[in-house]
Structure 1
Amino acid sequence: MTPSHDDESAAARSGPRPDPIPGTPNPDSPSPSPSGPRAPSRRPTPRRLGWALVAGVAALGLGAALVVGLGNDPEAAPATTATPAASARALRGAAVAPGVAAASDATLIYAVVGAPTTAGFTVSTKTAGAVSVRLVVSPDPTLATGTVYGAPAVPDADGWGKPSVTGLAPGTAYFYAVELTDAAGATTTTDVQGAPATLAGGPASFTVAFGSCLKLGADDEVAFTHLLARSPDLFFHLGDFHYADNSSTSQASHLADLEDQLAGNPALRSVLAAVPTLAIKSDHDAGGGNDAGPGPYTAPNRAAYQQMFATPPLTDPAALYWSFTTGRVKFIFTDHRYPRTATSMMGAAQEAWFKNELTTPEPVKVWVQDSTWNTRADPEPGGDKWSDYPAEHAALGSFIADSAVGKVISLHGDQHALAADDGSHNDWGGFPTFSAGPFRQAASHKGGPWSDGRYPKSTGSVVQQYAVLSVTDTGSSLDVTVTGYDSDDEARVSLTVTVDAPVAVG
């Protein structure tokens, strides 16, 4: 276990930060109006898209598919234009290049997209020198047409704010930049940071990348590079965002753990800026370390998390559990860290909420958790696994088998391996389960057996893995395929579940 941090400040612990994210202001243009489309005089030049897209576009073989100028003069070089959809796919696979904003003293350091809805999303922003931030959003990669401005947000004392935007179309990718205002009233707008998609409001096909467990300070980011190249619509981090095992009661100390991970991982930063992210806690990043339950470190750990990540509405502000639906699939996230007690993994309130969520009419429900469900290990006093709560494990499994509406599939992390079971080895509800990890950590095994295999087969070696859940909605059925990829981006474990679900007519 990593020693606990003391209560030193985030500034003292966090070390060097990456350069600010680039801005490309036009100092001769007036500030945009608070709402509505841009006036013609504010139409960005091709330079506005900037070099933030060049590397990613070239890597994807799209050539000059996006509007990209080669200098400050828009006439300096020819440019071509792609459709917004093609541009959005390219940007999701592109890293944002560092640079310096010029029009004001405010700079953007980090951007983390989250809390997606059918009408918008929120971006958690870490800034320096900004007193106000807001999102500039458009289906156009130049942000020139159909532009929507979000409501301004005021950064907290650590520079974190949560600007959001609403009024967008469902199931649509939107490019976004961040407008920053400094104390003198000067405004600058960053380059495009990503092209997140809103949630689908009706039947839809989509993909979700997910995984868990990233060793603190890891400098090899193969999993995130491969993951981003697949242009997922959503990204789920299933716990152990870091391995700080921090027992401090200082919120600044827990925030520094999160920021340290961002500072040292450019590919992770690119994923978080481009893809709507939902993150949960596991045993090494929830405070206390390993098997530790809630303690005096819990509240500051949770508060630091909420500075960096935007979530859907929380039923219990003291815990991190929620649900949302995109297309005809409901995702249910549960928290097995903050509300855990000596006799319950979930706590009574969360368990009652979870059971209710399972009985709504969606034909597919994906249960997202950090803990291995399919485990036959003997109970350990003070343990934090489902096998350490055998009565609750059995009772909840029986409820799912008897009362859940539609097909339940569970995704989890914690195990440092890819693994899939079609339900044939799940004695606690009989539903399919899939384990994804680690992003970078030594391989380890938990749970099983697994009908569709586990990778790697041996333990101890450092691996860098992730998984993708793909939903194909044909209108008459939903095909849910989950595939785990190894350090070389080779598919190693895969499972497909088909659910008959004709779309209701009338």
Structure 2
Amino acid sequence: MGERLGDDDGFEVNKIRKRMRRQSILGLSIGSVLCFFVALCCAVGLAVRWKHGNGEKGKTIPLSDDPFFAWQGGLTPSSLVIKVGKSNEMANVTLVVRKVQGGVVFNNEQKSISTVITFIVVGLEPSSSYTYVVAKAENDEEEDTLAGSFSTPSPDGVPFSFKFAFASCASTGSNASVFLDILGTDPLFFVHMGDLHYEDIIEPEEQLYEDAIFAAASTFTQGSLYRNTPIVYMWDDHDFGSNNADSSNPGKASAWAAYRKSVPYYPLHTAKGVFQNFTIGRVPFILTDLRSYAGGNSTLGDVQRAWFFSQLLANKDAPLQVWICTKPWVGKEDRGEDSWARFVEERRLIADYMVEHNINNVIMVSGDAHMLGLDDGGRTDYSSDGGAGFPMMVAAAIDRPPSIKICELSEGHFPSVSYSWMAYDYVHQFGVMSVEDNGGQDVQIKLDGYGQIGGALISHLSKTFSPPFMKNGKDATLIADQVKCPKGTVPTPFTAVAVVAFILLAASIVMGVVTLKRVMRYRRNLSIMKVPRAANMSGHSDVGGGGRKGGMSSDGGKTTIGGGGGHSENVKLVDKREESSRSGSGQNEERRGEEGDQHVFSLYKVESGGQGRDVGTPSPFTKAVSDLKDWVSEAAKSGGMNGEGRTSRSVSTALHAPIPEEERGVRLDDSVSLRRAISKGTGIGGVASGSPSHPIRRDSDSLDSSDVMGGRESTHTAGLMQSEREGEGGEEGR
């Protein structure tokens, strides 16, 4: 029986079209969503970047056209150094110091042509509190005033309890509120362990260094701290020169000169470098300059190292001595590091010196690494035989991006950053050491690490030590050094946002390309398959010798074959490239072949009607169809059909080689090859009708010579195979 083709094939075409639309819409939707998230990530990143600038949360203030500040240092039980900076070299400055609940103890006016005036306040009483006022006047008219305060320690060698704050790394001209938090802890003095600014000056110009110092000291928050708390300042790389600066810095002489002119300090030991020492109560402090002499295998230099050893030895009987060290002490040997890991021979020499001379009262405070960290001495022993492990605390950064240069500390480490859902904040970090000295060996040291997050001060670290402080930590140090600490800066949310945005952008591009390729492929297939449902057609088929005539028609996809008079048919191949038609009239009769059911499937629409003629330019497709028709004709004439016409069989198929499922679409279950159709039937005739039911490969399909009778090879590009009817009267005109 014949099969209805039009409805089924049209249904399949519509299914494919809908699937194409769904896939296209899905692909474009996913691409749009990904692009949206890329835009969102970029917007969040830009907002975070806008909020935090270049990672300098401290509300940096440019140098004023008329800076005026005062800061103090060099504190002793009976003296203090106050330096006043001003822009007008001709202005007169007056300093008045009063004792709290007392009278004026110091009153001095200076007329100077310098931008910095130095007051050395003497005659102070130990363990006392003072206030002072600095007045700047021009032409005998008071113009501006600054107020400050300070307290003096007990006489040297007398037990005295106190606390001091320490930190490092502040942006140039930072106005971060953490400076007020440091002031709020009420320290006796503040140790700034380097990177007072980040100007990275290498030019041998003193004025550049002076301007950078003025920018730091004249801001509101820093100025408030420095006017009310004496400062102990030792530079590091960015405020001595450029990043990782050492003795090769061409501007080092200018840096020395600017330091002496503008910074209050304790007595210096040489004209080169700024290393110094002082004592508070019974606690000596040693400040080493690790930049001015750094080079080769030493960061101290021969002169400073000899002085340093002498200080360690002289203070060995003190209950405690504090080493203010501006470079990270711990870390596995690495000649590329800007730390003691680069100078391992000198580090071992210092540790062995401590062991050799039984020096066990050292505590180190350190900066440079933008993190808080604390170790009890089990991580700091670099002596040859052990026994030189001292407590160490790292405190930074005041308002700089986080970095981790030291890890595996006994009490942990905290980089200077805090994350929230959509933003992040730099944690402004500093340390406080409290010394409780009741005389003799009854001394307790407490180390606290603080971080200011969103205006709130949080304690991260706290540990109490009692003498002797040092221990054997050699084995633990060697083990800890095998752990690789993260290099460089800790990724901030902006970095994470940028990475996510990049991934989403790449994914959206890939998705867009894939979607575009799929759309183009389906559009190419649709250009072949874009046909309406099968239409009715009528015609005659002349089959077999003896003049038996048959007819065939398709009504809604139903194909019939049978007898009738005349030879005529009208076939239209809708391929957008070629079309042929033949005309005639006849009658239709449904018949079933004796040899088996007919197998019909249509790949292109076939229409019938009226008179027609060949149109279009011959193409490879047309030639393939023509070759196939010739072959069918030869097969009929050579006896492939029953001369008596008892059997009439319709074969209408597009021969196709096996096609991958994704290219072929829906496979028709009743499809057969031409070889099967011919081998099972003795008569050939009929016309196929219907709509395409699946995409067709146009270039690669072929009919092998082994598949055809007589050895003739026919190649086609997937289209309609139109049967050829031959009779005694010959072929009617095309």
The one-letter amino acid of 1:198's match is T
- Correspondence for 1:140: 100
Equivalent position to 1:499, from 467, 471, 474: 467
- Correspondence for 1:121: 80
Secondary structure class of the residue paired with 1:284: helix
- Correspondence for 2:348: 394
Counterparts of 1:307 and 1:351, CA distance in 2: 25
- Correspondence for 1:456: 415
Alignment: residue pair count: 390
- Correspondence for 2:371: 417
Counterparts of 1:139 and 1:392, CA distance in 2: 47
- Correspondence for 2:210: 255
How far did 1:462 drift?
Answer: 2.5
- Correspondence for 2:304: 350
Equivalent position to 1:239, from 184, 194, 197: 194
How far did 1:179 drift?
Answer: 4.7
CA contact (8 A) 1:482 1:495 kept: yes
Secondary structure class of the residue paired with 2:216: helix
Map 1:251-400 onto structure 2 (within 5 A).
Answer: 251-263=206-218, 265-360=219-314, 361-380=317-336, 383-400=337-354
313 and 427 in structure 1: CA distance in 2 versus 1, 3 angstrom threshold:
same
How far did 1:490 drift?
Answer: 0.6
398 and 376 in structure 1: CA distance in 2 versus 1, 3 angstrom threshold:
same
CA contact (8 A) 1:469 1:480 kept: yes
- Unmatched 5+ stretches in structure 1: 1-12, 21-108, 502-506
Cα deviation digits, residues 267-300 of structure 1 (max 9, x gap): 1111111111011111111113334443221111
Secondary structure class of the residue paired with 1:174: strand
Counterparts of 1:374 and 1:180, CA distance in 2: 47
CA contact (8 A) 1:418 1:456 kept: yes
The one-letter amino acid of 1:433's match is M
Equivalent position to 1:230, from 165, 185, 192: 185
Map 1:2-13 onto structure 2 (within 5 A).
Answer: none
The one-letter amino acid of 1:247's match is I
Counterparts of 1:253 and 1:365, CA distance in 2: 35
Counterparts of 2:358 and 2:211, CA distance in 1: 40
The one-letter amino acid of 1:411's match is V
Cα deviation digits, residues 72-103 of structure 1 (max 9, x gap): xxxxxxxxxxxxxxxxxxxxxxxxxxxxxxxx
Q: Indicate the larger mover: 337-346 or 128-137.
A: 128-137
Secondary structure class of the residue paired with 1:486: strand
Cα deviation digits, residues 222-264 of structure 1 (max 9, x gap): 321211111111000000111111111111112112222334x
The one-letter amino acid of 2:96's match is V
- Correspondence for 2:398: 439
CA contact (8 A) 1:372 1:446 kept: yes
Counterparts of 2:412 and 2:113, CA distance in 1: 47
Counterparts of 1:120 and 1:411, CA distance in 2: 25
CA contact (8 A) 2:282 2:319 kept: yes
How far did 1:449 drift?
Answer: 2.0
How far did 1:467 drift?
Answer: 1.0
CA contact (8 A) 2:85 2:214 kept: no
1:480 aligns with 2:445: yes
274 and 294 in structure 1: CA distance in 2 versus 1, 3 angstrom threshold:
farther
Cα deviation digits, residues 30-75 of structure 1 (max 9, x gap): xxxxxxxxxxxxxxxxxxxxxxxxxxxxxxxxxxxxxxxxxxxxxx
Secondary structure class of the residue paired with 1:304: helix
Counterparts of 2:197 and 2:143, CA distance in 1: 31
- Unmatched 5+ stretches in structure 2: 1-60, 383-387, 419-423, 470-734
Secondary structure class of the residue paired with 2:190: strand
The one-letter amino acid of 1:491's match is S
How far did 1:343 drift?
Answer: 2.4
How far did 1:148 drift?
Answer: 1.4
Counterparts of 1:246 and 1:279, CA distance in 2: 18
The one-letter amino acid of 1:442's match is P
- Correspondence for 2:119: 163
Secondary structure class of the residue paired with 1:271: helix
The one-letter amino acid of 1:167's match is G
17 and 457 in structure 1: CA distance in 2 versus 1, 3 angstrom threshold:
closer
Q: Indicate the larger mover: 161-170 or 475-484.
A: 475-484
CA contact (8 A) 2:416 2:426 kept: no
Cα deviation digits, residues 174-194 of structure 1 (max 9, x gap): 111225464x5x374965622
Counterparts of 1:331 and 1:404, CA distance in 2: 18
The one-letter amino acid of 1:452's match is E
Cα deviation digits, residues 119-161 of structure 1 (max 9, x gap): 01011101336555453212137xxx4311255555453x101
- Correspondence for 2:695: none
377 and 155 in structure 1: CA distance in 2 versus 1, 3 angstrom threshold:
farther
CA contact (8 A) 2:331 2:341 kept: yes
15 and 151 in structure 1: CA distance in 2 versus 1, 3 angstrom threshold:
closer
- Correspondence for 1:44: none
Map 1:99-118 onto structure 2 (within 5 A).
Answer: 109-118=68-77
1:469 aligns with 2:433: yes
Secondary structure class of the residue paired with 1:391: helix
- Correspondence for 2:132: 176
TM-score norm. by structure 1 comes to: 0.72
The one-letter amino acid of 2:95's match is L
The one-letter amino acid of 2:70's match is A
Counterparts of 1:481 and 1:234, CA distance in 2: 16
- Indicate the structure with greater helix content: 2
Counterparts of 2:141 and 2:78, CA distance in 1: 26
The one-letter amino acid of 2:98's match is S
Counterparts of 2:425 and 2:355, CA distance in 1: 37
Percent identical among aligned pairs is 27
448 and 133 in structure 1: CA distance in 2 versus 1, 3 angstrom threshold:
same
377 and 327 in structure 1: CA distance in 2 versus 1, 3 angstrom threshold:
same
Secondary structure class of the residue paired with 2:464: strand
Q: Indicate the larger mover: 169-178 or 121-130.
A: 121-130
Secondary structure class of the residue paired with 1:323: strand
How far did 1:456 drift?
Answer: 3.3
Secondary structure class of the residue paired with 2:295: coil
Counterparts of 1:341 and 1:261, CA distance in 2: 29
492 and 167 in structure 1: CA distance in 2 versus 1, 3 angstrom threshold:
same
Secondary structure class of the residue paired with 1:254: helix
- Correspondence for 2:496: none
The one-letter amino acid of 1:483's match is D
193 and 458 in structure 1: CA distance in 2 versus 1, 3 angstrom threshold:
closer
291 and 300 in structure 1: CA distance in 2 versus 1, 3 angstrom threshold:
closer
Q: Report the aligned-residue RMSD.
A: 2.5
CA contact (8 A) 1:376 1:447 kept: no
Q: Which has the larger radius of gyration?
A: 2
Counterparts of 1:492 and 1:282, CA distance in 2: 25
How far did 1:215 drift?
Answer: 2.0
How far did 1:463 drift?
Answer: 2.3
Secondary structure class of the residue paired with 1:272: helix
TM-score norm. by structure 2 comes to: 0.50
CA contact (8 A) 1:339 1:346 kept: yes
Map 1:49-64 onto structure 2 (within 5 A).
Answer: none
Counterparts of 2:166 and 2:416, CA distance in 1: 21
